[in-house]
Amino acid sequence: MPGRKTLGIIGGMGPMATACLLQLIIEMTEARTDQEHLDVIVFNRPAVPDRTAYILDRSKPSPLPVLTETARTLEGLGAGVLCAPCVTSHYFYGELSACVGVPFVNMLAETAAELHRAGKRKVGIMATTGTVRTGLLQGALEAVGLEARAPSEVCQELVMSIIYEEIKAGKAASRGKFERVAGELFEAGCDSVVLGCTELSLVEKDVLPAGCMDALKVLAKRCVQLCGGKLKAEYESLLSP
């Protein structure tokens, strides 16, 4: 359709989070026919080396060469907007956005802006240890005037267990672990909690307490808007009720 841009997705980090993003984009788009949905190219690259492993130990393989190759391939296939549904991969955002000539959606900045528009002030972070230690989300939140709070060391281990031992392993996320981490953050004065790892988007929605915001949903929303799709009205606010 005129004015539309094709979306290119660097996928596979992890595979189910990528599938979830595509589903969210379809669900969020106001469309009465197939033709009113967006054109999307998904390059699923589960072989991308683990982002957290490299950030915490530089002797591990770097994900950057595979990520840049994938971004350029998607651009070459006609993608006019790119995204990567992996928060930790945004450690390489500068290099990735610079290696292509089309817009690359910054999921961290968009999530921070969404929380700011929602009137939040202090945001708890549930993300990989790589994301937490590098301050990726903290920096994005602080850039728009929001205070960021990471979990305690014990609760951060629970977050990593949910991500790696449960969701990435194809198991259901532990409700008890999730509620313990979120509860700690809310008790510390947070008025919201950001799901800052796309694997956490696969947590059953009835587990989420009020005030949670899913970074993957923010990414899906902005992809619809930036590619020229029409966003359904119910997705204007993305905070869990």
Active site residue 86: yes
Token duo for residue 102: 């089309």
- Dist CA 85 CA 63 (whole Å): 14
Amino acid code (one letter) for 238: L
Residue 234 CB-half CA count within 13 A: 7
Instruction: Give the position of tokens 């359709």.
Output: 1
Amino acid letter, residue 108: L
DSSP code, position 37? S
> Any residues with CB less than 8 A from the CB of 69 and at least 6 apart, and which?
none
3-state secondary structure of 116: helix
Active-site residue, from 197, 212, 223, 227: 197
User: CA–CA separation, 146 vs 128, rounded Å?
Assistant: 20
Out of 86, 155, 190, 227, the active site residue is 86
C-alpha angle with apex 47: 42 to 51, nearest 5 degrees? 95
Contact 163, 128 (CB under 8 A): yes
DSSP class of residue 168 equals T
Catalytic residue list: 86, 197
